[in-house]
Amino acid sequence: MPSSPSKTAAASPLSTLAPHSRPRMDEAAFARLRDRRKMRRLSLKTVAESAGISIGMLSQIERGISSPNFSTIKAICAALEMPLDWLFDPAKGQHEVVVRANERREMNLGENTMAKSLLTPDGVRGIQMMLITIPPGMSSTAERMNEGYKCGAVLTGSLGLSVSEEVSILNAGDSFAFAASKTHQYWCEGDEPVELIWCVSPAIY
C-alpha cells in the first residue's frame, strides 16, 4: 500500500501558525526549497501541481520574490517530502563527516508510516545512507529513477522487495543492490516491524 516516509519527532513550532500567516523566510530558506526540488529531480511543473499553485508562483517563491503564506509553504514542503523543520533549521553546526546518533535528521510527514533517519551529513550529495523502520502492513510506492543505485541490508524483521516485478523476501542479515532506474517497491513482510539500512546514490533527501 502506498505511503509517505515518516519519522515521529518533536512538532515544529511552525505548526502553531495560522494558515494565512506569512512566516519570515530569508534567502537561505527560499534557496533550500529550490535545492530540495533539484535534489529530488522534480520539475517546477510537478511540484507546483502537487502543491496546488502556479508554476510562476513557485518560481517566484524559490527566487525569494514572492512571500508565501503558511498553508502554501506546507503544501510545497509536502510536495517535496520535506519536513517544515528542515526549511527553517538547516542542521546548524552539523559535522561534514560524522553524524552523531542524537543529531540525525528525521522524516516527519505523518503518523503510522515509515520512519527514516538520515545517517550521512547533508553536504555529501553523492551518496546517502539511512535507517528505515517499516511497520507491519506498510509499503513504499512503486517508483523508478533516471539514474543511480540503491542497496541495503536488513537488520531485524522481514523485508519484501520487488525489483522489475521480481519479488524477494529478505531476513535479518540479507542484503540487496539494484539500479534505481528499475521499478522497485519494498514493504514489511510479517507481523513485526522491519528495520534496515538503506543507501542511495546520488542522495535524494
Domains of the chain: 14-88 (1.10.260.40), 101-201 (2.60.120.10)
Of 204, 106, 100, 114, nearest to 159 (Cα)? 114
pLDDT, average across residues 86-102: 72
More confident site: 86 or 22: 86
pLDDT in tens, 24-73: 566 778 888 888 888 778 899 999 999 999 999 999 999 888 888 888 98
Q: Is 130 helix (H, G, I), strand (E, B) or coil?
A: strand
Whole-angstrom distance, CA of residue 203 vs CA of residue 205: 6
Torsion sign (Cα): 111, 116, 122, 124: negative
Q: Write down the pLDDT at residue 12.
A: 44
Q: What angle do CA 199, 141, 104 make, to 5 degrees?
A: 40
Whole-angstrom distance, CA of residue 74 vs CA of residue 167: 36
Q: Write down the pLDDT at residue 69.
A: 86
Task: Please state whether beta strands 128-134 and 184-188 pair in parallel, antiparallel, or not at all (unpaired).
Answer: unpaired
More confident site: 187 or 109: 187
pTM listed for this prediction? 0.66
